[in-house]
Amino acid sequence: MEAERDELIPWLLAERLAVLTGKINREIAVYINRKGSITNINIGDSGTVALPEVEGRRGKTRLSGIRCIHTHPNGDGRLSSVDINSLLSLNLDAMIALGVKNGVLEEVYIGLPSDQGDGRRDGADMYGPFENNDISLNHLFDLIYERDGIIQVTAGTGRGSKEKALLVGLEIDAGRLINGKSEGTRSLEELEELALTAGLEVLDKVLQKRSVKDAALYMGRGKIEQLGLMLQASNAGVLVFDDELSGAQIRNIEAMTGAKVIDRTALILDIFAQRARSSEGKLQVELAQLKYRLPRLTGMGGQLSRLGGGIGTRGPGEKKLEVDRRHIRKRISSLDNELKAISKRRSLIREGRKQNEIPVIALVGYTNSGKSTLMNILCNTDVFAEDKLFATLDPSTRKLLLPDGRLALLVDTVGFIRKLPHELIEAFKSTLEEVVYADMLLHVVDAADEEVEEQIPVAEAILNNLGASGKPAVLVLNKMDIVLEKQRLPISAAGISSVEISAVKGDGLDELLKMIMKTIPSDEMEYEIYVPYSAGGVVSYVHENGKLLEEEYTGDGTRIRVRMKRARAEKIREFIV
């Protein structure tokens, strides 16, 4: 059946749709192009029909040239929020709803993309109700052509908007309640922080409680179908899952919802890619992304199943999937070699520090706990610090002069987070080695965070996996300036001394430095030395091998008070007073 070119609604078709809707009590959607040809038919439940991507779209700067006519079995022809968002997201010419009751067409409502005067389509104009066979509504064709022209001319003049996303979590075990929030709820809130950091606009969060994960869809089929409707109603284009998904799960969910699907791991990798500044950091992120992608290529769409040409692949041809796998494996091998070379250079630097007997202190802890801010205040430096997750990606090393005159090196490292992708830990091995070979750890925590007691063991578990547990350490309770005393609970970590500070205000730093001096292993002692002028070379030796505290010239020689390693002091024992 075809419609006349100037007939907005083929009334014979509308009446047949009404009869069929009455019999099956389900919505029916028909898509018609401007030539009057039917391009698609879809059937949904009695609540709403899922509206798929339509054929014949002409790009985001034009209307699609297709109108949708669909039925409402409850007799109400008014457009729903799903209808309106589908009109806008699919660039439809019009969304037409037929109110059907007992198989009879009762009323008709029509929605057209609104004219904002600048080419933007962020709303819809409603027309109706119309009765059956009302030909007066055909004049709406003129408005459709007019608005298509306006949109075409002015499109692209506005600023780009953020991708809109729905966040999805699965709770198998509620875990420990904190402020009435289950573990799944808290994890989803952290996912929201990650999404905002990545530049997404979060529209809603969905948490399903379920005894086990679904192997094919991660969660229940009904919930996935519900997510599809939520995507249409909210005009979101991305689903972000609070867990790592397999390639098959990603493919299945995308097929059911029509949205882009990313998991927590991919989101974190994306943030790392945005944050990487040094060449080493960029290499590490690329390696992690490739190792994540490789086992998921089969879930990345049918385009990877095409056959590639024989030239360069030989034989009868090779599937694009296999070509991609081969290229990725080759690039992974190349990146591994580059990072091994970087690791060797880092090893040489560490050997130099060891020979110079300079202790290394590593700042570790949960992301956004204030590690970079603490480094800036202790070392009087300007390491990049921002109130965002993973603001620090590339490690920074700065000199720290302790009150007792000793010199140490303070190393700022990438923050930890729950469900930290193993691909990242493996790729950032050369960077995280700074933690493994450090002489002391400062475990910085955000004492004002309601989940601080949960974050401490997360960081400890990662340190244990790295082989960095058991080192001398201090638990640094940061952001005490915003901790409310009446809400404060004791915070501790097994076998570790703690100190309360505010890196922003500088409170508690003297006590922290005392604990560092007490904790860092040292074989230095303070000596008083008297060197006669006849042995002037000893004075030069003392200056080169010790930390001068006081020097006084007398009539017969030089009296010096110095802090020096015991082994070096042995060489001038005869001059020690």
**366-388 residue pLDDT tens:** 888 888 889 999 988 876 555 55
CA separation for the pair 197, 452 (Å, rounded): 20
The helix (run of H) or strand (run of E) holding residue 422 is: helix 422-427
Does 152 score more than 60 pLDDT?
no
- 325 pLDDT higher than 70: yes
Task: State the DSSP H helix or E strand holding residue 514, giving kind and residue range, or none if neither.
Answer: helix 509-519
Minimum mean pLDDT among 43-47, 104-108, 150-154: which range? 150-154
pLDDT (mean) for 507-530: 86
C-alpha span between 449 and 452 (Å, rounded): 5
Residue 220: phi and psi, rounded to 5, are: -65, 150
The pLDDT assigned to 316 comes to 43
Residue 302 confidence (pLDDT) above 50: no
Quick count: other Cβ atoms within 10 Å of Cβ 274?
13
447-471 per-position pLDDT tens digit: 888 888 888 888 888 888 888 878 8
| Of residues 23, 41, 29, the one with CA closest to residue 82 | 29
* Span 287-294, average pLDDT: 85
The whole-number pLDDT of residue 524 equals 73
Strand partners, 30: 41, 69
Cα 130 off chain centre by: 48
Residue 564: both structure tokens together: 């020096």
Alpha-carbon gap, residue 123 to 574, rounded angstroms: 91
Helix %, strand %, coil % of the chain (to 5)? 40, 25, 35
Rounded CA-CA distance 546/531 in Å is: 15
In this predicted structure, the answer to whether residue 150 has a pLDDT above a threshold of 70 is no
Q: What mean pLDDT is predicted for residues 301-322?
A: 44
Whether the per-residue pLDDT at 192 is higher than 90: the answer is: yes
pLDDT the model gives residue 490: 59
Share of the chain above pLDDT 70, in %: 82
Catalogue all structural domains in the chain, each as residue range(s) with its CATH number: 11-154 (3.40.140), 164-174+181-271 (3.40.50.11060), 276-352 (no CATH), 358-519 (3.40.50.300), 524-575 (no CATH)
Alpha-carbon distances, residue 249 vs 215, 293, 322, 423, 510 (angstroms): 7, 14, 20, 19, 53
Distances (CA, A) of 507 to 427, 481, 511: 36, 8, 9
Q: Residue 69 in contact with residue 60, Cβ under 8 Å?
A: no
Longest CA–CA separation in the chain, Å: 121
User: What pTM was estimated for this model as a whole?
Assistant: 0.64
- pLDDT tens digit string along 100-137? 999 999 999 999 988 655 555 567 889 989 998 888 88
What are the tens digits of pLDDT across the range 336-358? 888 888 778 877 777 766 666 68
Over residues 409-442, the pLDDT tens digits come to 998 888 888 887 777 777 677 667 778 888 899 9
Question: Is the Cβ–Cβ distance between 476 and 501 less than 8 Å?
Answer: yes
| Position 33 confidence tier, pLDDT thresholds 50, 70, 90 | confident
Percent residues over pLDDT 90 in the chain: 21
Average pLDDT, the chain: 80
Beta strands in 28-163 (DSSP E): 28-33, 38-43, 66-72, 94-101, 104-113, 124-130
